Amino acid sequence: MNRILYFTCLISFVIFSCQNKKKEPMKSQILANDVHSYSQPNVARVVHLDLKLTVDFEEKVLSGTARYTIDLAENATQIIFDTYDLNISSVFVNESEEAKFELGTKDRILGQALTVFLPEGAHTVSISYSSVPSAKAVQWLDPEQTAQKDKAFLFTQSQAILARSWIPCQDSPGIRFTYRAEITVPKGYLALMSAENPIEMNEKGVYNFNMPQPIPSYLMALTVGDIAFKPIGKRCGVYAEPIMLDRCFNEFSEMEEMLLSAEEIYGAYAWGRYDVIVLPPSFPFGGMENPRLTFATPTIIAGDKSLTSLVAHELAHSWSGNLVTNATWNDFWLNEGFTVYFEQRIMEAVYGRDYSEMLALLSYQGLLEELEEIKAKNPKDTRLKLELDGRDPDDGMSAIAYDKGYLFLRKIEETIGREKFDTFLRNYFAENAFQVMDTERFLELLRSKLEKDQLAEIQIDKWVYGEGLPDNHPVINSEKFVNVDKAMKSWIESGDINRLDSGSWSTHEWLHFINNLPEGINNQELAKLDDKFNFTHSGNTEVLAAWFQVTIKAGYAEAHKSMEDFLVNVGRRKFLTPTYKALIERDPSKEVARNIYKKARPNYHSVSTGTIDELLDWKG
């Protein structure tokens, strides 16, 4: 935003604020200031979007019109949207009245403010625009980057602040709107959104969508490709490329049961259907909780349902995040800590406590490792409540929000008892549905329900505003992992690989085993393990990623080719970051890592290249 415009906005905001005291407030909730958005929702905000877009695979461009219904404070003279590299061609108010607009100076993280000047009586704003091929949210895949390899594919990833690179929007998690969309795609393609979705292709390639519940912009999502659908239960189903569909269907057969378990714990599911689409492997996250349609990585398709806790996680977001939403990205732990806690509860309900405790212990061990790294970089980032002013909100997406957040909630549960905590949470979701929540308000609600001795036991402030992991954190015990440790011990003491009794270990037991292999294990021993268990060619991506940590460190050359293929084909950041880090540790010149990255980078989404570019000082 340029300086003059900034002061104009500031002055008009101050005038408005003073005048507004005597006048009718806006219909919607008053919102906190969000440093990651230019919009001023207490002056003018969107309440509904009618989106009309055409998808051009040749040019890698989305173009069309975003028509917003707006809610204005009295005397509001302008409305501000967020944009990032969008080409704005025209803006109309109330359908036919051309409006003056101004694009601010581009900020590297926030993009540009689009200010639309409003005549009196304005109730809709229509923005005609197109995106650029490098739009940060959108990944355009060539046919060879898909499973089927015969048609192009595209998907978006809007969280945290990337929606503005494909739709001009008020890109702040507190601003909710309903939407309808009409998406035109080439023949032979299906389009899907975070909305009521079609289940098959139509002749014209024009698809209509409706999202009747209000959502924040970071949950806007679109994917287009050669996609087919298979129902799993009454309310659940799976979308994937046809060649992948049966495998995905088998993997997710327990989805409906997960949904029922979730509802039993925290109340009715608010979004109608719950479907999952399995995307090509360059998707940067495990999953994204786009309402009604979770976007998921194919790296969870292990063939034995062992990695489906991810579905429980994304499903849990239907309550924590999508229903009650973090007010700003500084409160991100409210979205993710709650969701990990809830994910554990769903997994416990469906698979038993033994199983969910393995997951909890793996997440705890991962947290301990990440804590050290974050502490060395910026100790303040180990607090639950973050300070992301002037930074990319992506910096807050660490194990702190997820796993420290989870442990805090588990601490509360263990202190006040599960029944009481469940009642608290059920009411919390019911009373705050479709609203924002910030850390302070949550803590106020929590404190009002706790006894004095419970408050003393939990030490809320230490958890939320203190650095690191408080000493009073819950202790997680897994009998199953104790047995893995015993088996490992007897193998090491005897030196006989045949003494390693792995019986019917699950993926999680194998992960515990690989993560805890003796420091300095030599290549000979690794080769013996590999001969027996074939880790280097495992079909399970979690096992592969853990194994590569060990093999890179040891310089076990037999795994190098498989590791390189993995990095070139998979774009999930959770796997990329530790693998590249291990490569750098092994070869501080970064040459080996950079050589692989050169080949792999075109397959990665901007969320992943953002992180790995920085690790490798990549200048393009």
Nearer to Zn ion, 336 or 525 (CB): 336
Nearer to Zn ion, 73 or 262 (CB): 262
> What's the CA angle centered on 101, arms 97 and 103, to 5 degrees?
155
Which residue shows structure tokens 């009196």? Answer: 120
CB under 5 A: which stretch of 186-194, 338-346, 419-427, 454-462 binds Zn ion?
A: 338-346
CB under 5 A: which stretch of 73-81, 91-99, 328-336, 519-527 binds Zn ion?
A: 328-336
Nearer to Zn ion, 168 or 287 (CB): 287
Smallest separation, CB 186 to Zn ion (Å): 33
Smallest separation, CB 320 to Zn ion (Å): 8
Smallest separation, CB 343 to Zn ion (Å): 8
* Contacts of the segment 256-259: beta carbons below 8 A, 24+ positions apart: 256/232, 257/350, 258/311, 258/312, 258/315, 258/346, 258/350, 259/233, 259/235, 259/315
Total of residues contacting Zn ion (CB under 5 A):
2
Smallest separation, CB 321 to Zn ion (Å): 7
Nearer to Zn ion, 311 or 464 (CB): 311
Angle formed by the axes of helices 541-554 and 523-533, nearest 10°: 160
CA 312 to CA 39: how far, in whole Å?
34
Nearer to Zn ion, 78 or 156 (CB): 156
Smallest separation, CB 336 to Zn ion (Å): 5
* Structure tokens, 246: 């049966």
Rounded to 5 degrees, φ, ψ at 67 are -105, 120
CB under 5 A: which stretch of 54-62, 332-340, 494-502, 587-595 binds Zn ion?
A: 332-340
Smallest separation, CB 534 to Zn ion (Å): 32
Nearer to Zn ion, 226 or 336 (CB): 336
Smallest separation, CB 317 to Zn ion (Å): 6
HSE (CB half, 13 Å, CA atoms) of 551?
25
Question: What is residue 83's three-state secondary structure?
Answer: strand
CB under 5 A: which stretch of 334-342, 435-443, 505-513, 529-537 binds Zn ion?
A: 334-342
Q: Give the residue at shortest CB distance from Zn ion.
A: 339
CB under 5 A: which stretch of 93-101, 337-345, 408-416, 573-581 binds Zn ion?
A: 337-345
CA 615 to CA 569: how far, in whole Å?
19
Nearer to Zn ion, 334 or 526 (CB): 334
ω into 160 cis (within 30 of 0): yes
Nearer to Zn ion, 294 or 339 (CB): 339
What single DSSP character describes residue 308? Answer: T
Residues 255, 541 contacting (CB under 8 angstroms): no
Rounded to 5 degrees, φ, ψ at 288 are -130, 130
**262: closest CA among 429, 133, 139, 96?**
429
**413: closest CA among 345, 349, 351?**
345
CB under 5 A: which stretch of 113-121, 335-343, 381-389, 513-521 binds Zn ion?
A: 335-343
328 touches Zn ion by CB under 5 A: no
Which residue of the set 38, 402, 556, 580 is catalytic? 402
Strands 236-240 and 228-231: antiparallel
In sequence order, what E strands does 359-412 have? none
- 314 is known as an active-site residue: yes
Distances (CA, A) of 141 to 150, 440, 597: 11, 42, 18
CB under 5 A: which stretch of 127-135, 268-276, 294-302, 331-339 binds Zn ion?
A: 331-339
40 touches Zn ion by CB under 5 A: no
Smallest separation, CB 261 to Zn ion (Å): 18
Cα dihedral 337/341/347/349 (nearest 10): -150
* Structure tokens, 202: 């139509």
- Categorise residue 288: left if φ over 0, alpha if ψ from -120 to 50, beta otherwise: beta
Q: For residue 37, how far is the Cα from the chain centroid?
A: 19
Smallest separation, CB 4 to Zn ion (Å): 40
Which residue of the set 314, 348, 525, 542 is catalytic? 314
Nearer to Zn ion, 308 or 339 (CB): 339
> What's the CA angle centered on 396, arms 391 and 397, to 5 degrees?
135
Smallest separation, CB 309 to Zn ion (Å): 12
**428: closest CA among 448, 400, 407?**
448
Residue from the set 156, 339, 538, 540 that interacts with Zn ion by CB under 5 A: 339
318 touches Zn ion by CB under 5 A: no
Query: Mask 277-316, x = binds Zn ion (CB under 5 A)?
Result: ----------------------------------------
Nearer to Zn ion, 224 or 340 (CB): 340
**159: closest CA among 336, 278, 399, 363?**
336
What single DSSP character describes residue 282? Answer: T
The sign one gets for the Cα dihedral 593, 594, 596, 602 is: positive
- 129 is known as an active-site residue: no
Q: Just list the catalytic residues.
A: 314, 402
Residues in touch with Zn ion (CB under 5 A): 336, 339
